[in-house]
Amino acid sequence: MILVTTALPIEAKPLVSRLGLTAIADEAYPVYKGEDYVLVVTGVGALKASAATGWAMARFPGIFAAINAGFCGAAPEVAGLHEWVYISSIRDKASGRLSIPDILQKHPFREAALLTVPTVVKDRIDWNGVVDMEGSGFFEAARKFVSPDQISLIKWVSDPLTGSIHLEETSRAYAEGLDPAVDFIRQWPRFLEGKMDKAPEELVGQVEQRLKLTSTQRHYVRKWASGYLARGGDPGEVYRLLPEAVPASKSQNTRIFESLKNVFKN
């Protein structure tokens, strides 16, 4: 199952219709679910996006990938009004943190860097990319459960960084221009399923990139990972233990390796 998040109901409504989703009552957030997708309306802001994404990942354990779709602002020289763009990197303005999804699938969109800001941008800023208020929170939360190649952000330019939109006109244009996004969302599961046979290799590759392993440890990781995935183990459990960068100390490296060993062998 794939998680789709939007910040606003106006972004979610046409997606719900096009993907054939049904509202689920009595949840912590507005939730719409189908056989292959679950859509959650997170609310505006990186903190809300992070909280809702983490909640959804835990609430629906069958999720193996996540996509954020919705509005963004962009200067005319960056992207055209009402154009879809594929996010190639995410900079959180408040923290300065940079996140980079792995773009492995071919797509029809212009690629752009995303700046996630804490407040509405009402004028041009010094940024050669698109701007939103949720992307960094979504990505950082999703990254705790799945690998970067299983996370995508596609954004629709709703305004040229004016901070305001004409609600009715924007809603209509968004719904009418949804085809590229829906096509991508529908094709993505097939692309990801095609990668499943490579899952042990990719999982081991992520471990080897983020830990200092001896040749013996690498041998055991490959052996453990194959068995773990064959038993139906969740790769997200492994990814959650991996550090963002190789540990500086041997003791920290060893602690993480032992934690991975426990996950693989249980």
Tens digits of pLDDT across the chain (266 residues): 899 999 999 999 999 999 999 999 999 999 999 988 999 999 999 999 999 999 999 999 878 889 999 999 999 899 999 999 999 999 999 999 999 888 777 788 999 999 999 998 877 788 899 999 999 999 999 998 888 888 999 999 999 988 778 889 999 999 999 999 999 999 876 666 655 555 577 788 888 888 988 877 887 788 788 777 766 678 888 888 888 888 889 899 999 999 988 888 77
Q: Give me 229's structure tokens.
A: 């995935």
| pTM as predicted | 0.73
Residue 191: predicted pLDDT: 67
β-pairing, 151-159 vs 84-92, is antiparallel
Residue 200: predicted pLDDT: 72
Distance, CA of 129 to CA of 73 (rounded, Å): 9
Distance, CA of 111 to CA of 97 (rounded, Å): 19
Distance, CA of 136 to CA of 48 (rounded, Å): 11
Report how far Cα 46 is from the mean position of its chain's Cα atoms: 13
- For 260, the 3-state DSSP assignment is helix
Residue 193: predicted pLDDT: 60
Q: Give me 52's structure tokens.
A: 């809702």
CB 70, CB 174: distance < 8 Å: no
If residue 90 lies in a helix (H) or strand (E), which one and from where to where?
strand 84-92
Residue 195: predicted pLDDT: 54
Report how far Cα 161 is from the mean position of its chain's Cα atoms: 23
Task: Report all structural domains of the chain as residue ranges with CATH numbers, in order of start.
Answer: 2-194 (3.40.50.1580), 199-265 (no CATH)
The type of residue at 255 is R
CA distances from 249 to 159, 194, 253 (A): 47, 37, 6
